[in-house]
Amino acid sequence: MNHLISSMIAASALTLAGSAMAVDMPADGKAKCGACHAVDKKVVGPSFMDISKKYKGDKDAASKIAASATKGGKFGWKMGEMLPKGGMGATDAQIKSLSEFIAGLAG
């Protein structure tokens, strides 16, 4: 019985550690991009983490990501075509802060 309880505690501690490490999508991202993007998995478009890796090491990453997200189109992911500003009317300020968020993901 004791053993069962301690393994249950260990399992829930692991779950907590896992969710604390995962980066959450900012609210604007959920509202404007969440239909097609998630932080860590493909949805309709590539994950924000994969996009971050594509631009890793580029000092202009955030502005290039913002330019892509503003114009939309095809970026070589072969997942279709993104509408300008995601097609969901994100403002330039939202695109800018989300692009900085994406650029920072891969460290």
Q: How far is the CB of 44 from ligand HEC (least distance, A)?
A: 5
Binding ligand HEC (rule: CB under 6 A), the pick from 36, 38, 61, 105 is 36
Residues linked to residue 42 through DSSP beta bridges, in sequence order:
37
Selected range binding ligand HEC among 1-9, 13-21, 81-89, rule: CB under 6 A? 81-89
- Looking at residue 23, the DSSP 8-state letter turns out to be P
Show contacts with ligand HEC in window 46-75 (CB under 6 A).
Answer: 46, 51, 54, 65, 68-69, 74-75
Is 44 near ligand HEC (CB under 6 A)?
Answer: yes
Residue pair 84/27 in contact by the 8 Å Cβ criterion: no
- CA distance readout (Å), 82 to 29, 71, 87: 15, 9, 8
Q: Which is nearer to ligand HEC, 69 or 105 (by Cβ)?
A: 69
Burial class (CB in 10 A: 0-12, 13-18, 19+), 76: exposed
Nearest-10 crossing angle of helices 61-71, 92-105: 130
Interface residues with ligand HEC (CB under 6 A) are 32-33, 35-37, 44-46, 51, 54, 65, 68-69, 74-83, 85-88, 90, 95, 98, 102
